[in-house]
Amino acid sequence: MRSRRRLLFAFLALWLAVPQPPLHPLAAAATVSADRFQSAIDAARAASAQVVNARGGPPGLGVAVLVDGRIVWAEGFGFADLEQRLPVWPSTKMRIGSVSKAITSAALGLLYEQGKLDLDAPVQKYVPAFPQKQYPITTRQVAGHLAGIRHYEGHVEAEVYNTRHYKTVLEALSIFQDDPLLFKPGEQFHYSSHGWSLLSAVVEGASGLDYLGYMQEKVFDPLGMRGTVADVNDRIILNRSHFYVREKDGPWQNAPYVDNSYKWAAGGLLSTPEDLVRFGWAIINGQLLRPETVRLFTTSLRTSDGKETGYGLGWALARDDQGRRWIGHGGSSVGGASRLMIFPDERVAVAIIINAEDMPDNVQFVQGIASGFMPKR
């Protein structure tokens, strides 16, 4: 009898230690907020619920807002699993797509600061196996989408919907490494996810560690990004969302099987909105990189004719409709989309992630949320 009681008490203790799902399926529990932001939170919550409830809205949405180093609001809306009616939590992991590039840029910055990475050396210094091209290309050019490496043009079905597992980042380079450059490096801005796959190999060559191991040790662990991992299909990943697609105005369907091992650095990570804003704060607050490194990486590059590209080294650069400067990135992948916006002068960061391929006007949506947490102009 005593042993049964002990087992019962042990079970109850374990059950109580596991976070229980919220009572309402459309809004998972938010973080404790500061009173002065309550009206902004109320407005952002209503706007987020409206997005999910709208016709054609994403099945699930996660949002987080950080102000001056503190996450003042994080909440989930809709469902992480439509079949099981499991709600989105702030801890739900979704595919962040190309926001992975901004996170990978931190690795480049760390190696640059340590003198292990020359941004203007040919990439073959760090990846000798990468074939020589008709022109030399550098890490700076690749990171700024100026190197002339192709994107998915003409290969969408085979590459975006890739089902092959690549054991190493070097093996994944075989997808594009034998293709010629599209133009002389520097002449044009041409967005390329494959270029960032090459940069994961640069990280490995410069650091002596495998890409995912380096990111875990040097970026994720130091910043407490416990919700950020590679989207490895055969691994059990706590709180990973299901992913959804649809055709035009049709019903949501399970996303097709894809293997993102060919593009960890370019778009293969899972994360949470809370982790993304923590990362954003670490960047602007000097927690990870020196201020001069951040300025270097978040300053627009120029084409060879002097035109600004609006893109640094892994960072999109723009201003909102009030003229406030922001840095960040957007991402879209099979069954996932995201947006990270950081307003350095206002010390505000906002991130959203959805478990569907696209959310129209997500830039305006994130800007609208952010504006509620900043002083009015």
Say whether pLDDT at 123 is over 70: yes
Tokens of 9: 């008490």
DSSP code per residue over 166-195: PSSHHHHGGGTTTSPPSS-TTS-----HHH
Give 137-153 as a 3 state SS string: CEHHHHHCCCCCCCCCC
Is residue 98 flagged as an active site residue? yes
Nearest to 273 by CA among 333, 316, 337: 337
Q: Please, what is the average pLDDT of the chain? A: 92
| pLDDT tens, residue by residue, 150-201 | 999 989 999 999 999 999 999 999 999 999 999 999 999 999 999 999 999 9
User: What CATH topology corresponds to 91-348?
Assistant: Beta-lactamase (3.40.710)
The pLDDT score that the predictor gives to residue 267 is: 98
Phi, psi of 373 (to 5 degrees): -105, 5
Q: For 214-261, give the DSSP string.
A: HHIIIIITTTT-TT-EE--TTS--TTBPP-EE-STTS--EEPPP--GG
Query: For residue 212, what are its two tokens?
Result: 């995912």
Q: What is the pLDDT of residues 187-197, one digit of tens each?
A: 999 999 999 99
Tokens at 117, concatenated? 């990475």
Q: What is the pLDDT of residues 236-257, one digit of tens each?
A: 999 999 999 998 888 999 999 9
From the candidates 33, 48, 91, 98, which is the catalytic residue? 98
Domain-wise residue ranges, the chain: 91-348
The whole-number pLDDT of residue 301 equals 98
pTM: 0.91
The pLDDT value recorded for residue 359 is 81
Looking at residue 360, what is its pLDDT? 76
Residue 45 structure tokens: 């919550």
